[in-house]
Structure 1
Amino acid sequence: MPAPVNEKLNLAHNFVLHTNRNVFLTGKAGTGKTTFLHQVKQLSAKRLAVVAPTGVAAINAGGVTIHSLFQLPFGPLVPGTVQREGRKFNREKINLLRTLDLLVIDEISMVRADILDGIDEVLRRYRNRPEPFGGVQLLLIGDMQQLPPVIRDEDWALLSPHYQTGYFFGSKALRQTPYVSIELTHIYRQSDERFISLLNSIREKTITRAQLDDLNQRYVPDFSPGDDEGYITLSTHNTTAQQINSQKLQALRGRRHTFTATVEKEFPANTYPTEAELDLKVGAQVMFIKNDISREKLYYNGKIGRVTAVDDDFIYVRSQQDGDMIPVDRVTWENIRYTLDPTTKEIKGEVIGTFTQFPLKLAWAITIHKSQGLTFEKAIIDASAAFAHGQVYVALSRCKTLNGLVLRTPIPSHSIKTEQTLEDFHEQVQQQTPTEQHLHDAKRTNQEYLLQELFSFEQVHSLIYRCRRLAVQHHDSLPDELHTALEQLAELHGTKARDVARRFMQQLPAYFAHEQLPEDNEPLQQRIRKAGAYFKTLLSDELLPLLRACPTDCDNKQVRDLLLEAMDELEKELFSKRQSFESSCSGFEALAYLQARNRAELDFQPARKQSEPSGSNEGAVKGGLYGALMKWRNDLAGEHDTSGYLVLSQKTIVELARTRPTTAAELLAIKGFGKTKVKQLGQDILRIIQEYGKRSSTGAAPKEKPPKVESHLVTLSLFQAGRSIDEIAAERGLSLSTVESHLARLVSAGELPVEALLPPDKIAAIRSFIEANQPSTLNEVRLGLNNSMTYSEIRFVYNAMRTED
């Protein structure tokens, strides 16, 4: 019945595409798990990466190995050691991880719990998010009744203090996050109900004595099929398979043909899909190890045949199943590395190496481990020495029919290994099967979470605080205007962005209470469209320009690098917010928001940083006296093989050019000068200033442009002419907060009395609170006065009080 199958596949796809819930997709052998994986890769609008625990599994899944993508150290990963031992990622890989929406892990049954926790540590670290796996959604694909992870005794001795089980579901990170389990039940590989029932009993460890006896009727003592019958032997150990193939090939008469693979660029030997040196003879039994992607579809992975002829270009194989003659050409496997497309900004699989060889291997025998995922018409099973959970089930389930199966030895009951841990997990899986209602609820949760993320400005607040703290810590090396500009930015962000967004978010629960999903709630969508337009404009026209205008002149390279790094992070966050709000101006749609946010991460270029001189400003050139002093300082630093700022700081040179001292006493009044420095450098500095003055007065040097009237003085003249703050802002094309910062500076300089700006009652209230409480921030004052005063009003009074000291 196809309907249930379609329902489960649709349910799985909807959970992957439209929710942020982790999904464990499981099912018996032959139920289409691999097909689903390839469909997700083709259809998902999310940015995804596919990984697998082994190289061969990764190649088959069209992905990469877990260790290569996450650069995990080999061996057991004791919790907390990944960050200490892991290699440093390059910028491209960090961008890939930061913008990842979905991580697909194939063959999850073979992944150890500590490996999954290693992935969690890397994602949390490089995505800078505290949620399990850094907020990335997981799609885990596999069957726990098949092959288990390989855990050596010495490795388990290190891991057992931290884990109850080595299976993936023992992961500490996975236990911290809910996931749904979807089990595919329709089997495509087998159609014989008797055989299906027997396989299910083995898989679920419920096989009865009668069923085991029925299975062991396929034991045929001394079974020796003819070479033309096409049986393949499945053995538990690689040495047995190799011995059978070697003996069979040696017994054939005729010439041995050796075909050498062509390996280009990066394709590690442990991931070769077949032998690099393929030895064949006419008459050899072979198995196809790849699907024919041509229109004819002449062969598939696991198809058995016999070599009938060989020439320079083709190997001719007669199919055991239908007798067709198949001309086999060389094919190419690709080794893929995930990268970011510089044009589309999408995650793409970049081919970093290829392996070209005939898609064949000797097939009189193969190990059970390597048979996982294959299908055979006829097979001889040698599983009496099964040593791992799932080996018997994997071997038997490779066969399409019970009649095509022959046992080399009877299957003893003890070889059908049971693990109570897996039995308990399977019972838990059954209880986690989601319904359509679960899907609806998960969609709602995802959309609500993304909306709250969109309107949260907490990260911006944190980054502004970081920039302000750096400005305070390195005040002596940075321009005085930087502290004022950052304080203005903090106030603008707090009042117009963070506070407004918080009030908006307080209204969201009322909208979320409706039955409709947020995406379908038109009243909510109207509010989002208006809010999106408001915040986009605020970010574009005020916050980003104000940040980019912040002065960061500093000739202390270490300080400047720290400041630029912090300000770039802040600019990137504001840029990402702007792009995200732009996508919501036409309404909120979860996938569109994710794509806008991720593209912003990749498109961002620090425009503020690019507009500034690079490096430490050691070679910065400005005209006039400043330029002359800088050249003298840098030449002197070069003579003594030292840094310019150690001779004289840029901040001090700016002050020298502004005040133009003419005596040693006047030099001593400038910050950065002491008696020793005046004695060492004073004569040269005064000479440069004197020579510059003479050139300016005699016209020996080009005349400088008249000094530009400082912006705050223009504001003062307009204010004294009777203009209001609003009128000044409108006339000069400035924001209100910029005009207010000018006035605060004038109050601080004693050029404007605070009484000209505020009524006596406000001045008295602010002054009384400050004197009584000695607050350390303006925000403390504002809260203490029940938000009845603006930050600018508080700053006016505070600056006036400082002039009285």
Structure 2
Amino acid sequence: MPAIVNEKRQLAYDFILHTNRNVFLTGKAGTGKTTFLHEIKQLSSKRLAVVAPTGVAAINAGGVTIHSLFQLPFGPLVPGAAGQESKKINREKIKLFRTLDLLIVDEISMVRADVLDGIDEVLRRYRHRSEPFGGVQLLLIGDMQQLPPVIRDEDWAFLKPHYETGYFFGSRALRKTPYIAIELQHIYRQSDQRFIDILNGIREKRVTRAQLDDLNQRYIPDFKPDDSEGYITLSTHNTVAQQINNQKLGALTNPVHTFEATIEGEFPAHAYPTEARLELKVGAQVMFVKNDISRDKLFYNGKIGRITDIDDDFIYVKCPKETETLVVDRLEWTNIRYSLDATTNEIKEEPIGKFIQYPLKLAWAITIHKSQGLTFEKAIIDASSAFAHGQVYVALSRCKTLDGLVLRTPIPSHSIKTEMLLEEFHEQVQLQTPDEQELWNSKQTTQENLLLDLFSFDRSDYLLNKALRLARENASSLDEGIDQLLTQLKSLFSEKAAGLAIRFRRQLPAYFAESLLPEENQPLQERIRKAGTYFKDLIHHELLPVLYVCPTESDNKLVQESLRESLDELEKELFIKMHCFDSCRTGFDALAYLKSRNESDLIFQPNRKSKERRKTGDATESSGSKAGTSLYKALTKWRDDLAGENDSAGYMVLPRKTILELSRIRPTTTEELLTVKGFGKTKVKMIGEEVLAIIRAFSDEEPRTSPPMPVPASKEKPPKTPSPALSLTLFREGKSVQAIAQERTIAVSTVEGHLAQFVSTGDLSIHDLIPVEKAEAIRAYLETHLPKTLTEAKSGLDDTVTYGEIRMVYNWILAGKEKP
């Protein structure tokens, strides 16, 4: 596995892996920026995606183009333009965006400011709207002294009102995003200090007259090397390069061999690494366009050689100063897209296309633009027509040595173009270079923010209040039980979750004040482990079970959908919290926390929906039979048919609550029908007989659960006693748990759960419920073995111990010193 080998690269790696700081990684040509990118892909455990501005750059970086991943329109993107296209993004890609930790943008010097803002718009749309780039960490790689973005005059006319510059650092989103800059210094491509000094002088626009004169000594008029020497010409324009290659190939008398690439799946033409129709001859000068990934490493991207033979299967290439002839076979390039693995929920590179061809192209000449990132032993530089900033520097820096470089024309000083804007940016970059102390501070801040996020229930509180408000504002069209259950959930949540979390958060600054990273602070880690276990169990065993049974059926479909959406959001938020707390069972680790948060977001499936469907069926059943269900369906169908005939809403004929009540008590006379809420004399007169006829048809299937009891119209129903409180009242009256369960027709475990709540509040003593010796034995086991779940605890205890008793003792412990 590759290793980060110098101090600057290690610093950059540590910032990317251990903090959420945005990083601009720059450096001179040949300092290993592309190598660093591939190391990050192999070493980082973060969910990442790699993008580049062009197809070839994306293939070389092992990523995809910016426009394909973010589905940005081509052409200038005025602020807001990316949002319309992003509406077409499919659900799987949206999930990918929502779980992305790190976005790597290669060749950032060629990325326009508006394109970077397009990325920002898409990420904010599907992640955090208030944070630049949706809160995703950025790694921007490139050298601003190399090739600039291509901006046509007509495009700039659209962009100029919104941007001071077209360079990436003119991005409006990036200006709101603090980032550090790290410049790689060690040059791997050149070793001659004299040549390095000349290149640095040109790059930084401070080349001296003596250095320029020294460079121009490499101008050799009418230089015509022997083809065997392996020189390649670098020109500013593609037409010049093509003309040279065609002339040289045509001058060879050997027959042309044509090789057609095999293209499978999706592989766009603009990303082809070489010609799809490759025409070669024996004697042609060629360049390898791919690195040899075998152990022998016989060739690299940019290596020059000459074809010595061609047969049916192979092309034979001899490189200067090498005795062995290389046997070249077809190789494969893969076009990828990012997707989510259904099993691991990791971001994976999914192959969507292949380009299979010999890794060669004619190489008597190449454009400077296409030479970026390549290395040549010998090159002829034709930069007299340099029209863009950085072209001269890119061309010269492709060469390994000054002696291997020949100038077609002298390099005039005016061709070394200076942009004051870039000079100012470079000065700013130097001020943004971090040191080890800033790295430590950033690690600390990142870990502290993650902990504050972990112990914040603000969003859960917001969603719960939203659902409660919806239920109360629309009480007339919802089941009566919804308000009671949400009120119960709110009370439980406020007391046991939000309140305790706030107190825990207030204690964190004292731990943060110590000169330790949270991951290394053992007293804090111990508190987090205990608190994580408490909150995880609280959500799993107390909060979610109440949420699961909240009814949302309503005749008002808009109210029903709004309430269901709110409860689904709340369930998802609590589900993610539960998994995040579970990740802390062995202590807090920032990367493990991030992974758990992302994975739980992906694997979440609303459990409440299925439980609600079962509960709705139960509500319409009578004494466990299906008769009530059938009657409910029959009444609903009759109601909907009648409403359709009269072009009215179903609830105008019979509200859902009334149908539920009819299904439960099944009146068979007009007098009994008048006792049902929703039936007055007028409605009885209009539809009473039809309703009674439907009910009578089902009356023989099963007896009623209880006879209807007339309720005087002048009296209001007494307020209902909450279910746990009723169990407590019966227990205090001297009834056993089994007797309470039988009287209330509920499960023994449900009664135990009710009473366990009052153990945690101190309203009941544990010894009122469990014998002293048994309670102490359970307590000793829990404190000694620290089981992670009730199931694990049950398996380690005597068979006479019930889950309810474990929960009671657990709450007894929490009520004491173990509460966070």
TM range (shorter): 0.7 to 0.9
Q: More displaced, 22-31 or 209-218? A: 209-218
Measure the CA separation in 1 of the matches of 2:735 and 2:426. Answer: 71
Which of 744, 751, 755 is the equivalent residue of 1:732? 751
For 1:581 and 1:469, the matched residues in 2 are separated by 28
Structure 2: distance between partners of 1:332 and 1:46: 28
Taking the TM superposition and a 5 Å limit, the aligned residue runs for 1:220-369 are: 220-369=220-369
The one-letter code sitting in structure 2 at the alignment partner of 1:623 is: K
- Structure 1 residue 58, shift from structure 2 partner: 0.8
Counterpart secondary structure, 1:734: helix
For 1:439, the equivalent position in structure 2 comes to 439
Aligned match of 2:626: 623
1:726–1:736 CA contact under 8 A, matched in 2: no
> Does the 8 Å contact 2:25/2:141 carry over to 1?
yes
How many Å separate the matches in 1 of 2:319 and 2:730?
A: 99
CA separation of 1:222/1:723 partners in 2, compared to 1, >3 Å: closer, same or farther? farther
Secondary structure at 2:366 match in 1: strand
The one-letter amino acid paired with 1:63 is G
- The equivalent residue for 1:698 is none
| Residues 31/722 of structure 1: CA separation in 2 closer, same or farther (3 Å cut) | closer
Opposite residue 87 of structure 1, the aligned amino acid is K
Amino acid at match of 2:637: N
TM-score, normalised relative to structure 1: 0.85
Q: Compared with structure 1, are the counterparts of its residues 673 and 52 closer, same or farther at alpha carbon in structure 2 (3 Å cutoff)?
A: farther
**Distance verdict in 2 for CA 1:46–1:165, change over 3 Å:** same
SS of 2:385's equivalent in the other structure is coil
Amino acid at match of 2:634: K
- Residue 650 of structure 1: aligned partner: 656
Partner of 2:212: 212
Gapped regions of structure 2 (runs ≥ 5)? 708-719, 741-747, 760-820
Q: Report SS of the residue matched to 2:440.
A: helix
Spell out the pairing of 1:132-171 with structure 2 (5 A cutoff): 132-171=132-171
Q: By how many angstroms is 1:545 displaced?
A: 1.1
Against the structure 1 CA distance between its residues 689 and 107, is the aligned structure 2 distance closer, same or farther, given a 3 Å change threshold? same
Query: How far did residue 646 of structure 1 move?
Result: 6.9
Q: 2:427: which partner in 1?
A: 427
Q: Whole-Å Cα distance in 1 between the matches of residues 728 and 4 of structure 2?
A: 77
Return the offset for 1:682: 3.0
Name whichever of 301-310 and 564-573 sits farther off.
564-573
Asked whether the 8 Å contact 2:53–2:107 carries over to 1, the reply is yes
Task: Report the count of equivalent residues.
Answer: 731
- Counterpart-to-counterpart distance in 2, 1:725 and 1:704: 28
Contact map agreement 1:625 1:689 (CA 8 A) in 2? no
Which residue matches 1:489? 489
- Partners of 1:39 and 1:726 lie apart in 2 by 66
Question: Which piece of structure 1 moves more, 272-281 or 637-646?
Answer: 637-646
Structure 1 residue 528, shift from structure 2 partner: 1.1
1:161 Cα offset (Å): 2.0
Give deviations 1:680-722, integer Å, cap 9, x for gaps: 53331122234444x2xxxxx3457789xx9968965873674
8 A Cα contact 1:633 1:647, kept in partner: no
Name the SS for the 1:613 alignment partner.
helix
* Cα distance, 1:498–1:715 mapped onto 2, change above 3 Å: closer
Change (3 A) 1:522 1:261: same
Q: CA deviation at 1:724?
A: 9.6
Tell me what 2:16 maps to: 16
Q: Is the 8 A contact 2:664 2:704 kept in 1?
A: no
Partner of 1:566: 566
- C-alpha RMSD over aligned residues: 3.1
Name the CA distance, whole Å, in 1 between partners of 2:685 and 2:284. Answer: 96
TM-aligned CA distance change 1:635 to 1:321, over 3 Å? farther
Deviation of the 1:652 alpha carbon: 2.4
State whether residues 236 and 382 of structure 1, in contact with CA within 8 Å, keep that contact through their aligned partners in structure 2.
Answer: yes
Return the alpha-carbon distance in structure 1 between the equivalents of residues 518 and 734 of structure 2: 44
Q: Does the 8 Å CA contact 2:382/2:408 hold for their aligned counterparts? A: yes
Say if 1:613 and 1:620, in contact at 8 Å, map to a contact too: no
Q: Provide the rounded CA distance (Å) in 1 between the counterparts of 2:728 and 2:488.
A: 21
Check the 8 A contact 2:635/2:659 in 1, yes or no: no
SS in 2 for 1:536: helix
Q: Distance in 2 between matches of 1:713 and 1:521?
A: 44
Which AA in structure 1 matches 2:729? Answer: F
Q: Alignment partner of 2:583: what SS?
A: helix
- Per the normalisation by structure 2, the TM-score is 0.84
Q: How does 1:491-530 map to 2 (within 5 A)?
A: 491-530=491-530
Q: Give the whole-Å Cα distance in 1 for the aligned partners of 2:208 and 2:727.
A: 99
Residues 195/615 of structure 1: CA separation in 2 closer, same or farther (3 Å cut): farther
Quote how far apart the aligned CAs of 1:486 are.
1.4
Tell me by how many angstroms 1:480 deviates.
1.6
Distance 1:257 1:679, change over 3 A: farther
In structure 1, what residue type is equivalent to 2:96?
A: L
Paired residue for 2:729, among 719, 722, 742? 719
How far off is 1:731 after superposition? Answer: 8.6
After superposition, residues 351-390 of structure 1 pair within 5 angstroms as 351-390=351-390
Contact 2:455 2:505 in 1 (8 A): yes
How far did 1:68 drift? 1.4
What whole-Å deviation, never above 9, does each CA across 1:544-568 have from its counterpart, x for those lacking one? 1111121223465554333332222
The AA in structure 2 aligned to 1:654 is L
AA paired with 1:719? T
Shift of 1:656: 2.3
Cα deviations across residues 138-194 of structure 1 (Å, max 9, x unaligned)?
Answer: 111111101111112222222222222111111222222221111111111011111
C-alpha spacing 1:723/1:587, structure 2 compared with 1 (3 Å)? farther
Deviation string 1:470-524 (CA, Å, 9 cap, x unpaired) is 3234434321211221122122111211111111111111111111111111121
Q: Given residue 90 of structure 2, which amino acid in structure 1 is its aligned partner?
A: N
Closer/same/farther in 2, CA of residues 716 and 207 from structure 1, 3 Å limit: closer
The answer to whether the 8 A contact 2:31-2:185 is kept is: yes
Superposed displacement of residue 620, structure 1: 8.7
- Report SS of the residue matched to 1:515: coil
1:481–1:381 distance in 2 versus 1, CA, 3 Å: same
In structure 2, relative to structure 1, the CA distance for the partners of 1:237 and 1:714 (3 Å cut) is closer
Residue of structure 1 aligned with 2:637, choices 634, 656, 680: 634
Letter in 2 for 1:384: S
2:692 counterpart of 1:686: yes
The change in CA–CA distance for 1:629 and 1:568 in structure 2 (over 3 A counts) is: closer
Taking a change above 3 Å as real, the CA distance of residues 377 and 542 of structure 1, as seen in their structure-2 partners, is same
5+ residue gaps in structure 1? 696-700, 741-805
Given that 1:634 and 1:644 are in contact with CA atoms closer than 8 Å, whether structure 2 keeps it comes out as no
* Cα distance in 1 between the residues matched to 2:656 and 2:475: 13
- Compare 312-321 and 434-443 and name the one that shifted more: 312-321
Contact residue 626 and residue 654 of structure 1 kept, 8 A: no
- Deviations, residues 316-366 of structure 1 (Å, cap 9, x unaligned): 111124243111000000111111112222111111111100100010111
Compared with structure 1, are the counterparts of its residues 526 and 225 closer, same or farther at alpha carbon in structure 2 (3 Å cutoff)?
A: same
Q: Specify the code of the residue in structure 2 equivalent to 1:539.
A: I
8 Å contact from structure 2 (residues 232, 365) kept in 1: yes
Map of 2:417 onto structure 1: 417
- The secondary structure found in structure 1 opposite 2:502 is helix
**Structure 1 residues 119, 248: CA separation in 2 closer, same or farther (over 3 Å shift)?**
same
Q: Secondary structure at the match of 1:287?
A: strand
